[in-house]
A = this chain, B = another copy of it.
Amino acid sequence: MNSAEIERLLHAATARISAASAAPLSPAQIAALIDHTLLKPDASRDEITKLCHEAAKYGFASVCVNPWYVALAAELLRGTRVKVCTVVGFPLGATLPQVKVFEAEVAIKLGAREIDMVQNIGALKSGDDTAVEADIRGVASAAHRGGAICKVILETALLSTDEKIRACLAAQRAGADFVKTSTGFGPAGATAEDVALMRAVVGDQMGVKAAGGIRALDDLRKMVHAGATRIGASAGVKILEQASGGSAGSASSSSAAPGNY
C-alpha cells in the first residue's frame, strides 16, 4: 500500500465523517441494525435465553452468541426473523485455518446463519497477507456453502492504518460479506474514523459492522453516519429505549472502551 493511496483513503474517510447527517432512524430501523450480543465466557443459559427473548421482542437483526449456545439460540428463535450469529477463532484469531473452517461448519449445522470470524492478526503483522486472505477465504467459503454470511473482525485497535487497509482488502478478495471493527475484548472498540476508513476501502459492495464500546444511541448514530451497516452491541435494549424516548435523552457513553469480561 503506497502512501498516496493511504492518504486518498484517509481523506475519503474524513470527508464522510464531516458530511451532513442523514435522515434520522426510526426505532424499527435501529433494531434491524443491531446484532444483540452476549459473548462473555461466563454467560449462563438463562442469560442467553433472556437475550433471545429480547431479540425477538425488539426485532434485532441477530443474536450474537458463542458457539456453545448456537443450538439453544436457534431453538429459541425458530419461527422468528432473528438470525443466529456466532463467532469463530474468537477473540484472538490465532488458531489454525482448518480449525476456523471446522468451527464455522459445525456452528452452521447447529443453526448459525452469520459467522463473525477474527482474522489472523499475527500473520498480518508478519506481512503474510497471503495467509490472512487464505484464512478468511476458508471461513467465507464454508459460510456460503452453508447459506450463511461471513463477517471479518479486524481488531482495529491493534492495527496501524496500513494494516487496517490491507486487512480490508484481504477480506474483500477472499469473498467475505462484511468487515467488522472489533471483538469487544481488545484494548479498544469501534471508532467512527475506523468505520469510515473501512467503508472507503471496501466501497459499497460489502457491509461494515461497528462493534465494541457502542453503549448509547449517539454512539450508534455516529457509526452509521461513518458508514456502518450493522452494529454489534450488548446495550441494544437501552439504545432502543433511548430511540423511543423511553429513557433519559441520548447521552453518549463517555468512553468507547470495550466490554471486559
The residues of A with any CB-CB pair to B shorter than 8 Å are: 39, 41-46, 66-70, 90-96, 98-99, 102-103, 106-107, 110, 118, 120-123, 125-126, 128, 155, 158, 185-187, 260-261
Contacts and interface: CB of A to CB of B under 8 A. Distances in A.
Contacts of A110: 96
Contacts of A43: 94, 122, 125
Contacts of A102: 99, 102
Number of copies of this chain that the complex holds: 2
Contacts of A96: 67-68, 70, 103, 106-107, 110
A122 B44 contact: yes
19 contacts: A41-B158, A42-B122, A42-B125, A43-B94, A44-B125, A45-B122, A45-B126, A66-B94, A67-B96, A68-B122, A68-B123, A90-B95, A95-B103, A96-B107, A98-B106, A99-B103, A158-B261, A186-B261, A187-B261
A67 B95 contact: yes
- For A66, A107, A187, A260, the residue with the greatest tally of chain B CB atoms inside 10 Å of its CB is A66
Nearest to A41: B92
Nearest to A104: B99
Given A92-B39, A107-B96, A66 B187 contact: no
Interface of A is mostly: loop
A233 to B, nearest CB: 18
A92 B93 CA distance: 12
B122 A69 contact: yes
Contacts of A68: 94-96, 120, 122-123
Contacts of A187: 260-261
A125 B260 CA distance: 18
Nearest to A118: B41
Given A99-B102, A187-B260, A260-B187, A94 B67 contact: yes
Contacts of A92: 39, 41, 66, 90-91, 261
A123 B93 CA distance: 23
Top 4 A-B pairs ranked by shortest CB distance?
Answer: A66-B94, A41-B92, A45-B126, A67-B95
A174 B107 CA distance: 25
A42 B261 contact: no
